[in-house]
Amino acid sequence: MAKIVVLGAGVSGHTAVSYLKKELSNKHEIVVVSPNSNYQWIPSNIWIGVGRMKAKQTVFPLAPLYKKKGITYIQAKGTAFYPEGDNEINKGYVLAEYVLGGKKGQTIKIDYDYLINATGPKLNFGATEGLMPGTNKTVSVCTYDHAQHAWKDLEALITRMKNGEHVKILIGTGHAKATCQGAAFEYILNVEHELNRYKVRDKAEITWISNEYELGDFGMDGMTLKVGGKKMTGQDLAEMLFEDRGIRWIKRAGVYKIEDGVVHYETLEGEYKTEKFDFGMLIPAFSGHGFKAYDKNGGDITEKLFKGFMIVDADYTKKPYKEWTVQDWPETYQNPSYKNIFAPGIAFAPPHTISKPRTSKNGTAIFPAPPRTGMPSGISAKVVVDNVIELIKNGENAKLHKGSMGNMGAACVASSGFGLGKGSAVTMTVNPIVPDYQKYPETGRNLNDTIGDMGLAGHWVKLALHYMFIYKAKMKPFWWLIPE
């Protein structure tokens, strides 16, 4: 019998739990440790943030599902790792702190045979002065409760516009090294669509602000894709969409401070500028959770497990950007020091940036961090599950499964509006996520698999994916037939 502990119940964590339960017999114990009481389908937060969906349509409680499936669920927040155990427990364990009820604040030891760290990112709003959602006229769509507040503020702004007031809307990245540009990109398209629907578009100046060197970078160093059989860069596509919708843009901007309706940012040229706004949605920096790790004697071994995020089987050697390759990226997501610990999705430390690193004339790094959300999170979680099962069955003779972002494809459907007849979407697929210039010298990617399209059909896909992945997450009959 093996005990598998999964930290986190987001896309990676819940995916891992689902497949573990499907593939392992009941003699094995699966334990989920998460501070969150609900599962949330994060891509649909965009629609909550413009009032087109309710939070209850995108979330469901975890406890009843896990109880029904025979999965142990502990609502607690992981705090420290003891991969060697101690004098009381002769195998690895984690410390976690209860977050609710009469046990709130109490610490629990949770031992394991295998540990999957799927804690994802810390939404590091504090890395940018004044960015906390609900303050200084800023909101967020990173969680469903944030998105609800975003719609409340946007709805109030629309009322002001209906009364004849002209406003400024600012959407993009709120830190010089923020990632997840795709979520902000989708939100700005939806906000613009809704203002048209409410017939107040002429009352708003909408501006995109980003740390991208060029539009359409998305933390992947941009892309060349086929749209309608013709080559187009991600930059051309993004600029075309913004120009068609009258959205102005500010790029190469490192936001470092927010005041009441004023964003302060630094440019790559070393200039310090400001932009005023009445409504701002700025994606924060992502960071690790600050976990500590200790050996059997209580010595600090954090550096064996973490580089901000968890260390896995990547090449973290420092080298010039031009020398980085897809071979540097992890394949098994296994920690090299402790072979029974894995970290899929955003929880693993990327070996390097994908987009070219750039610094301002003042020495400030201004470029996107690598994205690991969405499909990569789900796929890497499935790889980790396969590896845990392989280790359980074959021990030292196990042959681990591999799934690098250097040979992994991903799809993104960015909606623009909502509804069966009036919605639209930009659909993009990219393969591989990390460009491989040895295999594809021209663009780093397979142009037959890196394609784009725009229109109503893409929106139908986005809407269908919402219901499909909620169904999958609830582990309904034959859920595993729905791909990651």
Q: Residue 195: is its pLDDT beyond 80?
A: yes
151 or 228: whose pLDDT is higher? 151
The reported pLDDT for the residue numbered 84 is 97
Number of domains in the chain: 1
Q: Residue 208: is its pLDDT beyond 90?
A: yes
Contact partners, residue 265, CB within 8 Å, separation at least 6: 209, 250, 253, 254, 255, 256, 272, 273, 274, 275
Provide the mean pLDDT of the chain. 96
Q: What is the mean pLDDT of residues 172-176?
A: 98
444 or 229: whose pLDDT is higher? 444
The reply to whether 67 falls in a domain is yes
Instruction: Find, among 82, 62, 86, the residue nearest to 13 by Cα.
Output: 62
- pLDDT classification of 62: cutoffs 50, 70, 90: very high
The reported pLDDT for the residue numbered 77 is 97
The reply to whether 325 falls in a domain is yes
The reported pLDDT for the residue numbered 101 is 85
% of the chain beyond a pLDDT of 70: 100
The reply to whether 202 falls in a domain is no
Question: Other C-beta atoms within 10 Å of 67: how many?
Answer: 11
Distances (CA, A) of 59 to 68, 103, 149, 435, 466: 17, 25, 16, 34, 11
Q: Residue 469: is its pLDDT beyond 80?
A: yes
The reported pLDDT for the residue numbered 289 is 96
The reported pLDDT for the residue numbered 426 is 87
The reply to whether 176 falls in a domain is no
The reply to whether 61 falls in a domain is yes
What is d(CA 177, CA 127) in angstroms, rounded to the nearest whole number? 10
pLDDT (tens digit per residue) in 7-36: 999 999 999 999 999 999 999 999 999 999
Asked if the bond preceding 432 is cis, omega within 30° of 0, the reply is: yes
pLDDT (tens digit per residue) in 345-404: 999 999 999 999 999 999 999 999 999 988 999 999 999 999 999 999 999 899 999 999
What is d(CA 60, CA 78) in angstroms, rounded to the nearest whole number? 22
Q: What is the mean pLDDT of residues 130-140?
A: 98
Q: What is the mean pLDDT of residues 242-258?
A: 98
pLDDT (tens digit per residue) in 219-234: 999 999 998 888 999 9
Q: Residue 421: is its pLDDT beyond 80?
A: no
The reply to whether 155 falls in a domain is no
The reported pLDDT for the residue numbered 374 is 87
pLDDT (tens digit per residue) in 83-109: 999 988 889 999 999 998 889 999 999
The reply to whether 143 falls in a domain is no
pLDDT (tens digit per residue) in 299-341: 999 999 999 999 999 999 999 999 999 999 999 999 999 999 9
Q: Residue 422: is its pLDDT beyond 80?
A: no
Q: Residue 64: is its pLDDT beyond 90?
A: yes
% of the chain beyond a pLDDT of 90: 90
The reported pLDDT for the residue numbered 228 is 84
- pLDDT classification of 424: cutoffs 50, 70, 90: confident
The reported pLDDT for the residue numbered 102 is 87
Q: Which domain holds residue 73?
A: 3-123+287-397
CATH of the domain at 338: 3.50.50.100
The reply to whether 432 falls in a domain is no
